[in-house]
Amino acid sequence: MQSQQKDVTSRTVRSPRPEKVPIKLSTTKKVELPLAQHPSEIAEPLVIAITCGTRSTQLVISRPIGVTNYNKKTDWVITPIEEVESAIAFAEDPSKGRRDAAKQKLRTDTLVGLGEYIIKDGKLYLPDTKTWPEDIATMKANANAAYNEAKRVAKEEYLQACEANNQKPKRDWKYGVSPNHFLKKEFREHEAALDKKLELVPTYAKALKDLDSYETLVGANRDQKQRKLNLAEGLTQEQLVDIVKKKLIHVLTFVPAPPRAAPDNDAEPDDKSGTTTPPLTQKR
């Protein structure tokens, strides 16, 4: 009988300890964020991860995506991560090519109507053909050819430098200048002056606004404006992390009210209610 009791006691003592469940998130381990495939399309992203173990979600704080009325250097927006890919895909107007062509035609037609351009043999010229003997299309085509050649040479030099330094080339490498850089300086200045003149033409300004009304929207149906954070301007990523943490703690926590002041010693207890009432003063 004693032997059986010892066996029972032994089995009870040696029962297995409950397993410890590892935590899902670590404050020291680096967490890979699902935004690595978009290094240039979304600027300065920060990700807030929320999980209860069985369900998780992420919110992305970044600079405004695509075309918005927000300032891309000072404003921040917050977007559920499931909406980010769609916002990036439609960051630019899908019909941008058609809109750009329509805007260029509007500009040309307006300047022809103002006498700033002339049409000769089906080609577009500046009125002063002695100073500008080439038609505008030829000047722009020559500038574009020079741009393409310069870009090709620059890209080759960049790749050679990466190979020499054993560095991986950037996927989103861009040439530093546009085709307009290869136009004559005098022509660029003349075109800029014409754009200033066009701003004073009400019909042109209205038509241009109608053609340039695209905005990058978010939401399941891409029908919502991006959600701008109501924060001070000029914040860095590090400052933003601190502010978001403090705001979450402030909004989601309950702060008990301060204790009530002790009753006045001169007050007298009310016989029926047990509350105190101020002492009566005698009338003279």
Asked if residue 262 has pLDDT above 60, the reply is yes
Range of the domain at 163: 96-213
Greater confidence, 20 or 93?
Answer: 93
Tell me if 280 is assigned to some domain.
no
Which two structure tokens, joined as six digits, stand for 104? 């260029």
Q: Domain check: are 115 and 204 in the same one?
A: yes
Q: Could you tell me the pLDDT band of residue 102, with boundaries at 50, 70 and 90? A: very high
Quick one: pLDDT at residue 207? 93
**pLDDT tens, residue by residue, 67-76:** 999 999 889 9
Asked if residue 216 has pLDDT above 60, the reply is yes
Domain count of the chain? Answer: 2
Quick one: pLDDT at residue 40? 64
Quick one: pLDDT at residue 121? 93
Cβ contact 215:67 at 8 Å? yes
Tell me if 146 is assigned to some domain.
yes
Lowest mean pLDDT among 33-42, 107-116, 138-147, 183-192: 33-42
Tell me if 263 is assigned to some domain.
no
Which two structure tokens, joined as six digits, stand for 163? 């190979």
In the chain, % of residues over pLDDT 90: 49
Q: Domain check: are 106 and 61 in the same one?
A: no
